[in-house]
A and B are shown apart, each in its own frame.
Chain A
């Protein structure tokens, strides 16, 4: 089940009143905003008017108003609006720009505000038409409500060049051996010496064991798009998620990260809810593939939404990322085209399936409902990993992380990191 904090929108005002009463924030403000947010989503109220109407009270209540809105160009804005921007500016000035923690805490406060505005929050007003139920949508269906990020990886196209691994490591500032994207080269029974490849990301499961077992709710499913993320501010580093995951996609930060905090931009780390879930984890905390959450939140530009670093780096057209609930998204489109290219002969046997393309999800029998689909042959239980055409070392990658960690373990004084 999802662990996301926002209850679904609805009209049961009393229930929301009780929820809001439990927070330290202004109940009436929350309820009023909730009602108006619904008007915004119904088109009865403009976003700008909504912003104006509550800005002062939000700043008074939370010190900052970080609702996302496309503010009008200052030149065209009425004098009142300039006042708004000025006030936002002065509110932001109160925050120490160098104090990462303080910025983070303010952003978290913003998220708390969003949580407090439980009734149709600003966020859900923006996406009210397609809010996901927190389960990432129906697993089997390609059509569903809201966004459900996922992948189709065509193993027949993969040539084991490892470019995706390199791109992922660089973009997320990963420590040596923390291969959020990992490409297996393997040989299987009955296939002779033929080498197959299996690029393995986090499967961003709809029914993910890791979110179930997390004792503190740090590992959670983001309700807006089904991403399985780790809140680095909450994680206690018990590693139960890692132990419960059937895919081995988790990489703990055992020591100091190779890339220090000062070199990682906040935009890559804090998601649109104000939670610290992106880029590499700090020491003592769990990390794994985020499906490039910073890209999906538009932090790297509009054009990067719906893309991932590994997909971008793949020259073989093997990785296709997109919204699985959108039938026209790259993963669905690729799968459809691939299947159409391999139509089955139904002339004599009309009950055959329409295509002969082999597709699978990794260890689907574990009941995790993965959101990564593969085209190609699933490795059998007897498949064995072999050396691929490109060695991990040649690409500057570390395969066996334990080697790096052992160096760190034997070092008695600082300086070692992994």
Chain B
């Protein structure tokens, strides 16, 4: 299934840069408002310490030391996967259908990784030491601490994605410069340092290799690797150990990522009348991918539940029984299952498909994956192998401070897209102009 959007003109492409609407201002206000709410709460945390959260010590302390902050960290890293994997797939596997949303997806990666990093910052007790303690320790700790593996892989992933983006936008900026705002000339000058049309061919090869690196690294090392290994390698918690966590985390990442792209793409399509630029076929394709990834997600959940309740070791059995007795877990599963069923139904009966419904279901999937990951962290900590502590069962409900951080990061993503879409074209020029222009002599 390929889509031809090559008839769309350059004016349409730069529409977000050249227009300014009340709706834009309203979205800006919402984004800034969310960030403001979070900052107000976060100042309290800086002032009083992590005591303003509802976190506590596990063990005799009757609580959980990791909660929403870590759950949301995992969630954002998961969302970040989609972007660049999708973009890399376009480049490496020739899935041109998705070219119109490739850059939106890359931008989502950058924004989501930023939010993930922010959650680490606000999760730790001494954020002021993140540089002074982590950097000197890196050479001796990286071969030991899974948390250090995490920091390393995420940083590498961020650098690769940013490089990929920086290299590919030069082509577009060069050709669209006359339609870009003069006010930002200094910025474009920086972005275009040393540019000549001769580089296009070289850059094309470079980004192919970067895409190749990313598509190997993201699934195998990030959500299929270092993020699940944060938990799966520990001797302490019954619900965490085991090789299934890698595939399971990856399935959550991919479902979240595709949902994120669907939402962002639909928002731009609606806001800028981009029905031609991002046609229905893109969303139909994405929804099929979402259906497929959701199926994998549900299948891996089934694996865990069955192995946890049939004739499992005592502590694992207990942890699994608690998990399946938690209503929120079934809400999460239900939300993902609903999206899967709709996606498959719309594949069989195309007239059932509507972008609006798909967006709503994508929001549901994101809520579901967030809930599942927070439950995984929290319930894991509540049911340790050391079962004597069950005498002080921990209850955990995120505090307003913690919830505000979730809103704040969503606000950051909104703000990011609003600002970036005013500066660079968020759809690649390649999407509307089939091949590279002949390099002029």
Contact = CB atoms under 8 A, between A and B. Distances in A.
Contact of A381 (B51, B236, B315, B389): B315
Contacts of A414: 47-48
A285 B60 contact: no
Interface residues of B, number: 59
B235 interface: yes
Contact of A401 (B60, B133, B386): B60
Contact of A385 (B66, B381, B390): B390
B61 A234 contact: no
A254 B55 contact: yes
A366 B48 contact: no
Nearest to B133: A216
Contact of A236 (B130, B315, B399): B130
A186 B141 contact: no
A367 B66 CA distance: 24
A129 interface: no
B280 to A, nearest CB: 45
B124 A236 contact: yes
B385 A184 contact: no
A245 B144 CA distance: 15
Contacts of A201: none
Contact of A363 (B133, B147, B385): B385
Interface stretch (A33-41, A90-98, A111-119, A206-214): A206-214
Given A237-B124, A400-B392, A409-B54, A217 B140 contact: yes
Given A217-B141, A384-B390, A249 B44 contact: no
Contacts of A59: none
B246 to A, nearest CB: 18
A236 B125 contact: yes
A123 interface: no
B330 interface: no
B177 interface: no
B44 A212 contact: no
Most buried by A among B60, B146, B147, B395: B60
Contacts of A384: 388, 390-391
A252 B386 contact: no
Interface string A371-397: 000000001011111100000000000
Given A250-B57, A254-B50, A245 B236 contact: yes
Contact of B56 (A238, A254, A367, A411): A254
A379 B388 contact: yes
Interface string B123-159: 1111101100110010011001111100100000000
Interface in B27-85: 44, 47-63, 65-66
Contact of B137 (A216, A237, A284, A402): A216
Nearest to B387: A381
A240 interface: yes
B63 A255 contact: no
Nearest to B47: A414
B234 A238 contact: no
A298 interface: no
Contacts of A408: 48, 51-52
Contacts of A248: 57-61, 384, 386, 389
Given A215-B134, A248-B384, A399 B235 contact: no
A409 B49 contact: no
B385 A198 contact: no
Nearest to A231: B133
A303 B144 CA distance: 38
B425 interface: no
A contact patch SS: loop
Given A236-B134, A243-B381, A418-B51, A385 B147 contact: no
B235 A402 contact: no
Given A218-B133, A243-B65, A283-B49, A236 B145 contact: no
Interface in B225-268: 230, 234-237
Interface residues of A, number: 70
Contact of B148 (A215, A239, A255, A381): A215
B136 to A, nearest CB: 8
Contacts of B120: 238
B141 A215 contact: yes
B123 A238 contact: yes
A242 B57 contact: yes
Contact of A215 (B65, B151, B388): B151
A406 interface: yes
A405 B51 contact: yes
Interface in A239-281: 239-240, 242-256
A44 B177 CA distance: 80
A302 to B, nearest CB: 34
A103 to B, nearest CB: 19
Contacts of A325: none
Interface in B385-411: 385-392, 394-395, 399
Contact of B126 (A177, A242, A284, A366): A284
Contacts of A125: none
Nearest to A281: B125
A179 interface: yes
Given A236-B130, A236-B133, A402-B394, A252 B57 contact: yes
A208 to B, nearest CB: 10
B303 interface: no
Nearest to B123: A238
A182 B391 CA distance: 13
Nearest to A213: B145
Contacts of B130: 236
A354 interface: no
Contacts of B49: 253-256, 283-284
B314 interface: yes
A235 interface: yes
Contacts of B65: 239, 242-243, 250, 252
Contacts of A246: 235-236, 384-386
B51 A255 contact: yes
A405 B384 contact: no
Nearest to A5: B140
Contacts of A418: 51
Contact of B124 (A184, A238, A406, A417): A238
A179 B57 CA distance: 11
B314 to A, nearest CB: 4
Most buried by A among B52, B146, B395: B52
A242 B58 contact: yes
B235 A368 contact: yes
Nearest to A244: B234
Contacts of B51: 254-255, 405, 408-409, 416-418
B129 A236 contact: yes
Contacts of B151: 215
Given A209-B235, A401-B56, 8 more contacts: A177-B61, A215-B141, A215-B147, A235-B125, A253-B125, A366-B236, A400-B60, A405-B61
The 10 A-B pairs with the shortest beta carbon distances in the complex, nearest first, are: A237-B125, A248-B59, A385-B391, A284-B125, A255-B51, A401-B61, A408-B51, A366-B235, A215-B147, A254-B51
24 contacts: A3-B144, A178-B57, A209-B236, A213-B147, A214-B144, A234-B137, A236-B130, A237-B126, A238-B124, A239-B66, A243-B66, A243-B234, A244-B236, A252-B65, A252-B125, A254-B53, A255-B51, A284-B49, A367-B235, A379-B388, A384-B390, A399-B60, A401-B57, A401-B63
Interface of B: 44, 47-63, 65-66, 120, 123-127, 129-130, 133-134, 137, 140-141, 144-148, 151, 230, 234-237, 314-315, 381, 384-392, 394-395, 399
